[in-house]
Structure 1
Amino acid sequence: MKKVYLIAVIFALIAGFATYFFASEIDKKTTIKDADTVEIIVPVNDLAQNSSITEEMFAEDAGVFTKKTVVASDVNAENVATEQSQLVGKVTVDPLYAGEPINVNRVEDLNGADVALSLKLPKGKVAYSFSAGSVTSVDGYINEGDKVDVLVYDAETKKSKVAYKNLPIMRVSTATASKNASASGTTLTEYSTLTVQVTEKQALALYKIENENSFKLVLKHRNNAPTTAPANAK
């Protein structure tokens, strides 16, 4: 008899749990159905950091991005990507994960500070860095976006020449976060490296100059001419 009662109790508990979960599922579906929803963009697969987002990625057969309907209260409408225009032309500064809402703060324009330098290089260009020991000119006033000329002194001919003109400064690295103030109170950067945008041929020539010649960098006016090299530069 006791076994019969025990079995009855077990079946009663199973029936109770089944009823509870069934009711919860109905309530959940009813809640989702009645709640405000929003259509968001999500990655189909994980997308690595520093990935460029193009319009072609949104094609149905591309399999990169897709639309997903979610309850509006489950996402931050101000930060989540809902339109293709919010992402095209951007670069991921953090990995994006499959099926997750895309926070627009995790993508930046190509010129964003957190975007890899290699993505900013035009086709056919490379980045070349001068070491701090050889950069002895302009008193630390060079900034990203500036352009410089490379002034070279030839010990054999005892002559100076401008080897390259208007090289764009892409990065200014500092040895430490601290900066020294000049006597006038102006803040001066302590250089570690200065990185310029050049061709591979120019990079080889600059490496030769840096190792064999005495040189200085001449800071140019911000509205100077487009980047060019002297006709006789090799």
Structure 2
Amino acid sequence: MKKLILIALVVSVILGFGVYSFAIDLEYRFNAETVSIVVALEKIPKSTIIQPNMITVKQFPAEALHELATGNPEDIIGRITLESIEANEPILSTRLIDSSQDNNGLSFSIPQDYRAITIQTDEVSGVAGYINIGDRVDILAVILSGTAVVSQTVEEYLEVVQVSANNSDDAEGQGTAVTVLVPDHDVLKVTYALSEGKYRLALRSVVDSAIDNPTSYSQ
């Protein structure tokens, strides 16, 4: 009988200690400092521009805070994912990239619904080499339409994103490759004009952003 009482006492002490430890742990968790961390609301695929509706802010224990996490949504919105991010996963800065970052490829700087097209120019069609990155140009072309030769403006106010010299041993082969951003719905039109017509670029003034849609000219 005494042995049973002793066992019961030992068990009660162990249970009491367990309950006490559990209560202490609960109190610690309840009182533990928390911080705000930006997480994904749902899975965000690779190469996605993060929008406000893709993320939310949740509370995490401060001791679990990753040094590359942030609690400010403005640090995340507008950046591009380098890899997929799962739902409820904290968004770390190493998994994002800025579209304007200098060491990015050209594809990171192309806006949505645009395409980059490279145009081979010479001294005349390339405005004597005065076109630089950041300039705006129009594409002009002379195209055979039926029995008439038509001069027309193919596209206006295109941004130049790359300019590279294309020199050869032949002096007549010297020229410049000018890469411009074209709205995706006009890519086929521009490609046709560059392939079938005699084209040239017209350099715009830095203060001229007007879209005139000039009438084609034929004689």
1:109-154 per-residue CA deviation (whole Å, 9 max, x = no partner) reads 6x63557456433xxxx436134xx322135543443211223346
> Where in structure 2 are the equivalents of 1:74-113 lying within 5 Å?
74-76=65-67, 79-88=68-77, 90-98=78-86, 99-104=88-93, 106-107=95-96, 112-113=100-101
Identify if the C-alpha distance between structure 1 residues 213 and 155 changes in structure 2 by more than 3 Å, giving closer, same or farther.
same
1:56-114 per-residue CA deviation (whole Å, 9 max, x = no partner) reads 335xxxxxx451413257432xx5321334334x13242253344323465466x6355
Structure of greater Rg:
2
Aligned-CA RMSD value: 4.4
Letter in 2 for 1:127: R
Identify if the C-alpha distance between structure 1 residues 211 and 96 changes in structure 2 by more than 3 Å, giving closer, same or farther.
closer
Among 199, 202, 205, the alignment partner of 1:215 is: 199
TM-score normalized with structure 1 length: 0.54
- The 2-side partners of 1:108 and 1:223 are apart by 31
> Where in structure 2 are the equivalents of 1:48-59 lying within 5 Å?
48-58=45-55
- The 2-side partners of 1:71 and 1:197 are apart by 47
- Corresponding residue of 1:120: 112
Confirm or deny: 8 A CA contact 2:160 2:178 kept in the other structure: no
Confirm or deny: 8 A CA contact 2:34 2:59 kept in the other structure: no
Identify if the C-alpha distance between structure 1 residues 52 and 147 changes in structure 2 by more than 3 Å, giving closer, same or farther.
same
Offset, 1:51: 2.0
* Worse overlay, 90-99 or 155-164: 155-164
Identify if the C-alpha distance between structure 1 residues 213 and 145 changes in structure 2 by more than 3 Å, giving closer, same or farther.
same
Confirm or deny: 8 A CA contact 1:38 1:72 kept in the other structure: no
Identify if the C-alpha distance between structure 1 residues 151 and 232 changes in structure 2 by more than 3 Å, giving closer, same or farther.
closer
1:141-188 per-residue CA deviation (whole Å, 9 max, x = no partner) reads 434432112233468999884524533125327589xx9xxxxxxxxx
- The 1-side partners of 2:128 and 2:61 are apart by 56
Among 174, 179, 190, the alignment partner of 1:194 is: 179
Confirm or deny: 8 A CA contact 1:150 1:164 kept in the other structure: yes
Number of residue equivalences: 180
- The 2-side partners of 1:165 and 1:75 are apart by 49
- Corresponding residue of 1:152: 141
Confirm or deny: 8 A CA contact 2:164 2:177 kept in the other structure: yes
Identify if the C-alpha distance between structure 1 residues 91 and 36 changes in structure 2 by more than 3 Å, giving closer, same or farther.
same
- Corresponding residue of 1:183: none
